[in-house]
Structure 1
């Protein structure tokens, strides 16, 4: 069984590299390149050929050095990927530096992320839940959170809103980039692919069995540019967040009612007790008294 100490050591070293801490390599002759050049070279390879093409050997060939010399700077590929990710995150402008209200700034930030993913598609192949924890990524995160504080939402809801927008942009970008990759590798556009399958609509598809699909196809709604779909989805997400923010400001409780227990006397929801209180059977004392009187036997 592995102890995990090696991974912990590399994680510490990776954080030191990200934040410019620790000692720089000083053994032997001074090389003709820097850590920044190593990272930028790796980014260039990933942009052109994908993450699978990134290796110490390939980077060493580009820089004209030995593979082992690179390990004086970076302990391994995992740390290199963190450095690459944080380096390109520096391209995203701070969300709170833009003019406008919170929605305008959040929309600009989402578009900036969309552009970043299209310039560096390999970012979407890395796990979003385990960020690089670098200075550029944290500066971006901080700036978006500052924008969202203008909504007046409580801390937990504020983070959920951030996660919702981030997940939408990442998902939409991944779908668009996957479609572009399929088109590039197959040599067929979406229009050409569908044209080659016209037989499906002419001889296989039964409109009476799928009337909704048939009506949407007749209206030309089934096929549209993917960037237009991103615009529609982003507007829908931002509209939903705006409604949620207004409801919170107006004091409306958005907790789902399906988990509330109805009062057996009047049917209204029973208020949840404090964590240390006893569960309530009725919504009010009046309902409890009415239920008590209903259970009492009537005099003959």
Structure 2
């Protein structure tokens, strides 16, 4: 996010438990929802660095200062953005009772969600105050994990680990997609690794590179990595 406004930290009680109230005076023609939606649209189109209070204000046809009643700083705006898009995540419907299978479904939902909003993995690394939509999805995940027999603290840890895995994988996936647009770079990297594998100092790498290639479809790769993670979780 563009670094043109400072922030003193987010007060979660004020942000989520008190209604957003504009400053006194003429009623504005926009809302916190409209401001947040404009910021999300900017991030979706141009990335998180493109989002600034000035550009968001221009998008909703407002003065910059008038936005501060709804989002007093960049940190607050980011929290609002994360929760805004989290409303897209489903929080109802039957669960199978197989907590590993249900956890994998949740992870796939998260991946699809982050791919729709490629700025989200980076935002989650600094996101600290879960809003109502984030909490609703967290509650769903904790319910899915209940059959594991783990206590609440362990279930929270597993969900945090899962989310971090999905965010990291999506960032890698996006990076790989961008690299694929440069076949010359990909060919150079392949030649480099082939040369290194033949120098005699990296026998394990040489063996790994000579093994049959796994499917490179992004969804299949994600599922393979996810299975290793979830199937290895200890419910004891």
Q: TM-score range, shorter-chain basis?
A: 0.7 to 0.9
Give ranges in structure 2 of 5+ residues lacking alignment. 1-6
Q: Distance in 2 between matches of 1:23 and 1:164?
A: 32
Q: Distance in 1 between matches of 2:194 and 2:14?
A: 62
Mapped pair 1:160 → 2:152: no
Mapped pair 1:100 → 2:109: no
Larger radius of gyration: 1
Helix, strand or coil for the counterpart of 1:93? Answer: coil
RMSD (CA atoms): 2.7
- Give, in angstroms, the shift of residue 59 of structure 1: 1.1
User: Which residue matches 2:4?
Assistant: none
User: Deviation string for 1:83-128 (max 9, x for gaps)?
Assistant: 111111111112x634312222211111111111111122211354
Give ranges in structure 1 of 5+ residues lacking alignment. 1-5, 249-300
Alpha-carbon distance change, 198 to 143 in structure 1, aligned in 2, over 3 angstroms: closer
**Structure 1 length as normaliser, TM-score?**
0.67
User: Deviation string for 1:203-223 (max 9, x for gaps)?
Assistant: 664264434333333334378
2:182 aligned residue (159, 183, 188): 188
Instruction: Assess if the C-alpha contact under 8 Å between 2:103 and 2:144 holds in 1.
Output: yes
Instruction: Assess if the C-alpha contact under 8 Å between 2:197 and 2:205 holds in 1.
Output: no
User: Which residue matches 2:16?
Assistant: 18
Q: Distance in 1 between matches of 2:200 and 2:185?
A: 25
User: Which residue matches 1:216?
Assistant: 208
Mapped pair 1:174 → 2:171: yes
Aligned residue-pair number: 229
2:113 aligned residue (94, 103, 116): 116
Instruction: Assess if the C-alpha contact under 8 Å between 1:207 and 1:214 holds in 2.
Output: no
1:232 aligned residue (220, 224, 235): 224
Q: Distance in 2 between matches of 1:11 and 1:209?
A: 51
Higher relative contact order (CA 8 A, sep 6+): 2
Alpha-carbon distance change, 93 to 204 in structure 1, aligned in 2, over 3 angstroms: closer
Residue correspondence of structure 1 range 1-300 to structure 2 within 5 A: 7=8, 11-12=10-11, 15-19=13-17, 21-22=18-19, 24-25=21-22, 27-94=24-91, 97-101=93-97, 102-128=99-125, 130-183=127-180, 187-189=181-183, 192-197=184-189, 199-200=191-192, 205-206=197-198, 208-221=200-213, 224-241=216-233, 244-245=234-235, 248=236
- Give, in angstroms, the shift of residue 58 of structure 1: 0.6
- Give, in angstroms, the shift of residue 144 of structure 1: 0.8
**Structure 2 length as normaliser, TM-score?**
0.83
